[in-house]
Amino acid sequence: MKKILIIMNVLFLCFGFSACGKREIIGDDSSQKFSDAEITSAENAVIKKIEDFKGCDLVNLYYDEEKSNNAVEDYMSNGSKGSVNGVENNNIIVLLSV
């Protein structure tokens, strides 16, 4: 559960929303850090959370390991809750939306 909460916090820091269009999960989602099941779980968590936002539709969503790792590194060193509260960077995934 803690892992999903961390994922959600980072996600909302790192991607934008669009009010129109069809949802699409893009990219090959390949990762050395996360299994396919973990990436799919994170994508499903984002999709479910977006439903709570009125007037927002998720148009596309993807995982890019290099961009995710860079965002995690920034969050851990500069984020308001990064490493200060014991979060481990191997428990954070950043999904992106264009």
Looking at residue 5, what is its pLDDT? 54
SS3 call for 61: strand
Q: Say which residue, 84 or 23, is predicted with more confidence.
A: 84
47: Cβ contacts below 8 Å, ≥ 6 apart: 23, 58, 61
pLDDT for res 18: 40
pLDDT digits (tens, 9 = 90+) for 8-63: 555 554 444 443 344 445 555 567 888 888 988 998 999 888 888 888 878 888 89
- Quick one: pLDDT at residue 95? 92
Q: Which residues pair with 18 in a beta bridge?
A: 57
pLDDT band for position 3 (cuts 50, 70, 90) = low
DSSP secondary structure code for residue 17 in this structure: -
Which sequence spans correspond to the domains of the chain? Answer: 2-91
Higher pLDDT, 27 or 95: 95
27: left (phi over 0), alpha (psi -120 to 50) or beta: left
The pairing of strands 24-25 and 60-61 is parallel
